[in-house]
A and B are shown apart, each in its own frame.
Chain A
Amino acid sequence: MNDTILHVQDIYKSFDGNGVLRGVSMEIREGEVVVIVGPSGCGKSTLLRCINGLEVIDSGSIYLRDEKISGRTKDLHLVRQKIGMVFQSYDLFPHMKVMDNLLLGPTKALNKSKTEVEKEALEMLERVGLKEKAYALPRTLSGGQKQRVALVRAMLMRPEILLLDEITAALDPEMVSEVLNVVIDLARGGMTMAIVTHEMRFAEAVADRVVFLEDGMIMEEGKPEEFFSAPKTQRAQHFLQSFTYASKRDKKSDKNNFED
């Protein structure tokens, strides 16, 4: 039986002659949470954007289940309906109430009935603690609240896989955990995810597998307990050391509590 959801096969991507992804291959199985880490500029965002076709790859191929999704120019929206993506900047639609943000995809892209989705949306909002904000405008929400809404918006499409690109990077420290707890919840519920993050403790907590990317190549890959305590490559060791210093430095202000 093949339970591979996403298969990235030797992809290359360059911008203006700069190789940003240089032969990246990876597989994500159903229900698996893969965390992608690596220094700034190593190509993490580009990798996620290539997966749902926001960037066009130069070579290689990408499969979702058994369907080749790279190299298409037509009906990309059908592919994106099955791939959820959330960015660091939330990107809620500012002219729509929270509920309309949530309804748009399912009712317009998937043609679902409004009453059915609205009920589902309210349930999900309740799960992330935002039921009372269902009919508020996005600008009245805090960053953490917006990002939880963005997660619900992506999840309501019932995607096969969710791509998260540094979704807490723009948040004030005290709001980080309320968002990450939602992600942990989704992971427990069996959601397949590819997560880019600089929150190493979160990465360790949520990952089934960690992928270390540097200079557009996967340098190391392994279980989180192995990767974080005993990285095999020197580059990963260096990378993790830079984080140890950083987290020691701001330990006092660190209120993150992923497990409650």
Chain B
Amino acid sequence: MDGAFILAHVPDYLSGAWVTLRFGLYGVACSLLLGLLCCLLRYFRVPVLRQIAGGYIELARNTPLLVQLFFLYAGLPRVGIKFSAEACAVIGLTFLGGAYMAEAFRSGIESVDKTQVEAGACIGLTMGQNIRYVIFPQALATAIPALFANVIFLIKETSVFSVLAMMDLMNVADTLRTSGGRTVEVLFMLMVTYLLILLPVSVLATLVERRLRYTGFGN
């Protein structure tokens, strides 16, 4: 391997990593909000919106992100709706991630005993207070592993941003590879950079999960 080549291109990878990380995190944050919203719509059985949420979740989970992005980036402009590449990236990732996050939140909420909800009601809490103080903290504890898995999954999925001509990690590597031909070095650095981004997230997930286990609820 060519060490000098690697060193010379570290700045390229850093800027690619910055794009990946930044838009990945925007997407993750929006996914969490959208997922929570969908989950609540279904939990409260809000008419119509609940069905819309259900349909959306199936659609998003059963189509590839690549196809979703093409639709946003190449399809919608044909009917006069045009977003920038960055906007498409965040919208696309949110569209996909929202569905997965909704399912993670749902598994959490469903794990909270019905008697807990009744106990909250019996001390005169409003439904909103009950959700906030009784149900949500317990649901979150259960949902945490799935939520973290989704975060990692979504950040990895950002590798398809390159089709939007964004200079994310994947595109940086692609460009270098097609111009310079040092395939081994280029791909090696690509893997290492993804690893450096995602490993801390994994470690954090493990720490949080372990902590939850220790302070574990268990009645």
B133 at the interface (CB under 8 A from A): yes
Choose among A76, A81, A87, A108 the residue with the greatest number of B CB atoms under 10 Å from its CB.
Answer: A108
B57 to chain A, nearest CB (A): 28
User: Contacts A91-B116, A93-B116, A95-B138 known; A84 to B122 CB distance under 8 Å?
Assistant: yes
Q: How far is the CA of A84 from the CA of B215 in the complex (A)?
A: 29
A139 at the interface (CB under 8 A from B): yes
Say which residue of B122, B125, B127, B219 sits within 8 Å of A94 (CB atoms). B219
Q: How far is the CA of A227 from the CA of B193 in the complex (A)?
A: 80
> B76-111 interface mask toward A, CB cutoff 8 Å, 1 = contact, 0 = none?
000000000000000000000000000000000000
User: Contacts A95-B141, A139-B218 known; A105 to B116 CB distance under 8 Å?
Assistant: no
A187 to chain B, nearest CB (A): 20
Contact residues in A for B49 (Cβ distance below 8 Å): none
B218 to A94, Cβ gap below 8 A?
Answer: yes
Return the chain B residue nearest A84 by Cβ. B122
User: Contacts A95-B138, A104-B133 known; A138 to B219 CB distance under 8 Å?
Assistant: yes
Is the interface on chain B under 10, 10 to 19, 20 to 34, or 35 or more residues?
Answer: 20 to 34
A91 to B218, Cβ gap below 8 A?
Answer: no
B119 to A87, Cβ gap below 8 A?
Answer: yes
Contact residues in B for A91 (Cβ distance below 8 Å): 113, 115-116, 118-119
B115 to A104, Cβ gap below 8 A?
Answer: no
A89 at the interface (CB under 8 A from B): yes
A21 at the interface (CB under 8 A from B): no
Return the chain B residue nearest A108 by Cβ. B129
Chain A contacts to B: CB under 8 angstroms: 52, 54, 76-78, 80-85, 87, 89-95, 104-105, 108-110, 137-139, 153-154, 157
Given A91-B116, A92-B119, 10 additional A-B pairs, CB 8 A: A77-B126, A80-B123, A91-B115, A93-B138, A94-B138, A94-B217, A95-B141, A138-B219, A139-B216, A157-B123
Contact residues in A for B122 (Cβ distance below 8 Å): 52, 54, 80, 83-85, 154
A235 to chain B, nearest CB (A): 31
Contact residues in A for B219 (Cβ distance below 8 Å): 90, 92, 94, 138-139
Q: How far is the CA of A153 from the CA of B134 in the complex (A)?
A: 14
Can you sample 15 A-B contacts with CB below 8 Å? A54-B122, A77-B124, A77-B126, A77-B127, A78-B124, A80-B122, A80-B123, A83-B122, A85-B122, A87-B119, A104-B123, A105-B124, A110-B124, A153-B123, A154-B123
